[in-house]
Amino acid sequence: MTSVGAVILAAGRSSRWRAAGGAEATKLVAEVAGKAIVRRVAEAALASRARPVVAVVGHAREAVGAALAGLDVTVAVNQSFASGVASSLRTGLAALPPEVAAALVLLGDMPDVAAPLIDRLIETFEADPGVLAVAPVTAGRRGNPVLIARGLFGPAMALEGDEGARRLLSALGPGAVAEVETTGDGAAFDVDTPHDLAAAGLGRGERN
């Protein structure tokens, strides 16, 4: 069985959230149905086959860490979180053990991503280990989380600023990226503002 780890990017500064009036220091600890957004993401990862699960923290790391308390999650601290998401991706990948064949990259602000979708991405990779990445697609558009094979870890480590896994996929040739069709908004919906939070948890998740 292929070993696929998960990396949750949860170090961002939540600038748009706070500019729009969000009371919390980070949107990731705002609650959807009584549970912090980042905890919902972590629980989805833990309910899937992905292991280990690494959460990368930075901004408001004490609050994010408290939201993850009690979960079987490895917390990795990104001291350079202010430089952009690329530094968090590097931190997360570096925290995975060497036997991991691929990493699922989850965004900490996507509360409706569910374990069945994560497992479908893993199963697609296992069915064709020659691919370098697997991405969900909704209505013709790629979403998240994205799975990247170890062959992309090197290029991922070379990213800078706010370049993330999506940048890697856009540079790959035909056949290198496997796509998984989804329905619903679970692979596309994220929380950036308090208005987004009000719309979260309303059955947006994958329905097929």
pLDDT score for 94: 97
- In the structure encoding, which two tokens stand for residue 18, read together? 């706070």
Q: Is the per-residue pLDDT at 22 higher than 80?
A: no
Domains of the chain: 4-199 (3.90.550.10)
**Under the phi-then-psi rule, with left for phi > 0, alpha for psi from -120 to 50, and beta for the rest, what region is 21?**
left
Q: Is the per-residue pLDDT at 206 higher than 70?
A: no
pLDDT score for 207: 40
Dihedrals phi, psi of 158, to nearest 5 degrees: -90, -5
Dihedrals phi, psi of 152, to nearest 5 degrees: -100, -5
Considering the chain, what is the average pLDDT of its residues? 90
Which pLDDT tens digit goes with each residue over 102-153?
999 999 999 999 999 999 999 999 999 789 999 999 988 999 999 999 999 9
Which pLDDT tens digit goes with each residue over 67-92?
999 999 999 999 999 999 999 999 99
CA dist 201 and 95 (Å) reads 30
What mean pLDDT is predicted for residues 16-39? 87
Give residue 190's identity as a one-letter amino acid code.
D
- In the structure encoding, which two tokens stand for residue 121, read together? 């991405």
- In the structure encoding, which two tokens stand for residue 136, read together? 């969900």
pLDDT score for 10: 97
Stated pTM of the model:
0.92
Q: Is the per-residue pLDDT at 177 higher than 80?
A: yes
What mean pLDDT is predicted for residues 49-76? 97
